[in-house]
Structure 1
Amino acid sequence: MSAPATATPRPRRLPGRIGGPLRVFAWLSFLAEVLIIGTGGAVRLTGSGLGCPTWPRCTADSIVPTPEMGIHGVIEFGNRTLTGLVGILALAVVIGIIVRTGGRRALPPTLWFALGGIIGAGAAVALGVALDIPAGPLANGILLVAVIAAAVRSVRTTPTRRDLVVLAWLVLIGVVAQALVGGITVLTGLNPFIVGFHYVVSVGLVCITAAFLVRMNRPDLPRVSAVAPWLRWTARGAVLALVVTIVFGILTTGAGPHSGDPDAGRSGFDAELLEHIHAWPSYLLFALTIALVVGAWRQRELTPLLARWSIALLAAELVQIAVGLFQARNGLPILAVGVHMVLAALTAAAMTAVVLHLSRPANGLPDAEPRVAADDHVEVRA
């Protein structure tokens, strides 16, 4: 008598990687966040920080720069204009992930919040014009509150991939907040501490967009540690060293010659001393990254993406160290300083990817497997 046939288990559907237009907009958002660091650096390094001496207008009577402002006005206004593009891309990612996780019916409440923010900001501008008072900060603040309220509502009601929804909203909130910080930077005459904070937020936004790219490439599954405790602690030490390096780099810049405008004040710190202090944690970071590469490479079959990203991080640091030494020994040429600023953001993005790949799916599969098509789901047999 033949054995009874057993039914083939039905495949279990797991939430998979995100594809389609959302992937394109997510990459464009990341690239735009990096680009605006470059243009912001150009504003400061060319002495165009007060090319448009007021905010949000370039002058009391003109939104755009006037011919009398010359190239400095064009450079400053160009950076302000790019903020709009960065915001549009961040909004596109928010809309895309909301539709992807909750369907089109989840979108209208968010749009109502946006409309309320726009109306409130417009009313603030109209009031400012009527009373002849600067209403830009108030309008921007109202818009920021509306975006935060929309984000809270969206995150609380999203049914899946809440991690991606949170990251998308954080970028949009950060872009709106950066517009306000940028205005304060101009209104305070390029205070070096405000300028430094402006850069820190920009680097943070690069890291958040990088985290979104990493997370959208992995299934929404429980995760467990994929590395030995010593390697995880090495990664934490590398993160701390990177943060300290960036902070002292900002302080060094705030005491250095590139103020953004001839009349802008400096922090008053000893720039040469800060330059040396800035280098010490960077060498520690380099040593810790070598340890990361060795540890990740030894277990590359289990964590292939961690091995690749640790090598990418090491490569970014090598280039960054080379550029840093070059600019220090050649009188801080503006092009080298600008490249150094952008490389710091890219190094932080690579570090973000490394940290996120210290874990793996709890089902035992590495993040690189199984491969999926551009959209949605992975079929696995029970």
Structure 2
Amino acid sequence: MTTETPPRETEPVTGFWRLVPEPSLDVVRRWGWASVVVNIGIVVTGGLVRLTGSGLGCPTWPSCTDDSYVPHPELGTHGAIEFANRMLGFVVAIVAILTWLVVMRYRPVRQDLRRLATAAALGVPLQAIIGGISVLTGLNPWIVSAHFLVSPIIITLTVSMMRRSRTSPYPHTPPVVRALATASVVAVWLAVALGTVVTGAGPHSGDPETGRNGFDPDIVSQLHADVVFGLLGITIALVIATRVTATSRTLRKLAAWLLAVELLQGAVGFTQHFTGLPWGLVLVHMFLAGLLIALVTAVYGERGTPAT
């Protein structure tokens, strides 16, 4: 069986890197999991900031107020919620740096893992800067959307890194399964991106004084729902295809989990829409969006090489 093995290089360990313990691929994967967890966590806490109207709880950036990096008591609960979200950003940064260090120290050198870990680590300060710009622009809905979308990108990079760190051969997969796996990635990302547009048109702006993006909430919600229906169709076809063709057991399980989470996400989405967008349900919806990104990335990574 041919395998798609990334190039490996040997490289001497010198200087600072002697201080970093040599990790195994299991350690690389564990740090990858930690990165996924904290990035889904910051999606949830960022959602809590917006849903509780705490987006300007710290009215400036990078400090919280003009004369302090921590919130004053007069900023109340909103200041505490926003500041807590900023503090979680430091946790995300620490995990990203440690993950990068582990990957860079791993021997033999894996350039594919290094590229993914580096890109994920660079995403953290990028997200912080975009978040700061969102505060300085009074929570412009388009910038807030961009701020959110960095987390799914980091999750994608990290899950891809974990998938590539496997030692078992890449499976051969029929073309129909590979095509459906690719289509599912496109559909999930389109649904998530449209979800940010729906949010930018809706009532949960992060602050009562913040403007919206100008789209009709009903129209963009319907468009979002149409994409979700299309995603469900693709994923149902993927689940069936993985069961009637020669595909790996892992891919069959991942496809089933992807469909299950999509159905739950759809149920939560419709419920929140018809119950006036209660913030608790919206928060669950955001958590499931982060989980969907992780799952669909894993599905795509498991699609393997073309069957011959």
Determine the structure 1 residue equivalent to 2:82.
76
Q: Shift in Å at residue 25 of structure 1?
A: 2.2
Match of 1:212 among 156, 161, 177: 161
Q: Shift in Å at residue 341 of structure 1?
A: 1.1
Residue 49 (structure 2) pairs with residue 65 (structure 1): no
Determine the structure 1 residue equivalent to 2:15.
none
CA distance in 1: counterparts of 2:180 and 2:219, whole angstroms: 28
1:303–1:360 CA contact under 8 A, matched in 2? no
Q: Shift in Å at residue 51 of structure 1?
A: 0.2
Amino acid at match of 2:101: I
Amino acid at match of 1:193: W
Residue 44 (structure 2) pairs with residue 27 (structure 1): no
Residue 294 (structure 2) pairs with residue 349 (structure 1): yes
Q: Shift in Å at residue 292 of structure 1?
A: 0.6
Amino acid at match of 2:42: I
CA distance in 2: counterparts of 1:45 and 1:310, whole angstroms: 31
Q: Shift in Å at residue 190 of structure 1?
A: 0.2
Amino acid at match of 2:241: G
Residue 104 (structure 2) pairs with residue 98 (structure 1): yes
Question: What secondary structure does 1:101 align onto?
Answer: coil
Determine the structure 2 residue equivalent to 1:310.
255
Q: Shift in Å at residue 322 of structure 1?
A: 0.7
Residue 195 (structure 2) pairs with residue 246 (structure 1): no
CA distance in 1: counterparts of 2:151 and 2:33, whole angstroms: 16
Match of 1:232 among 158, 175, 178: 178
Determine the structure 1 residue equivalent to 2:53.
47
CA distance in 1: counterparts of 2:184 and 2:33, whole angstroms: 26
TM-score normalised to structure 1 length: 0.72
Structure of larger gyration radius:
1
CA distance in 2: counterparts of 1:226 and 1:289, whole angstroms: 20
Q: Shift in Å at residue 97 of structure 1?
A: 1.0
Q: Shift in Å at residue 20 of structure 1?
A: 4.7
CA distance in 2: counterparts of 1:28 and 1:237, whole angstroms: 28
1:18–1:217 CA contact under 8 A, matched in 2? no
CA distance in 1: counterparts of 2:167 and 2:65, whole angstroms: 48
Determine the structure 2 residue equivalent to 1:165.
114
Q: Shift in Å at residue 24 of structure 1?
A: 2.7
Q: Percent identity?
A: 43
1:18–1:216 CA contact under 8 A, matched in 2? no
Determine the structure 1 residue equivalent to 2:149.
200
RMSD: 2.1
Gapped runs of 5+ residues in structure 2?
A: 1-6, 9-22
Classify 1:255/1:308 alpha carbon distance in 2 versus 1 (closer, same or farther; 3 Å): same
Residue 276 (structure 2) pairs with residue 331 (structure 1): yes
CA distance in 1: counterparts of 2:24 and 2:202, whole angstroms: 44
CA distance in 2: counterparts of 1:25 and 1:58, whole angstroms: 30
Amino acid at match of 1:246: V
CA distance in 1: counterparts of 2:292 and 2:174, whole angstroms: 23
Determine the structure 2 residue equivalent to 1:178.
127
Q: How many residues of Structure 1 are paired with residues of Structure 2 in the alignment?
A: 288
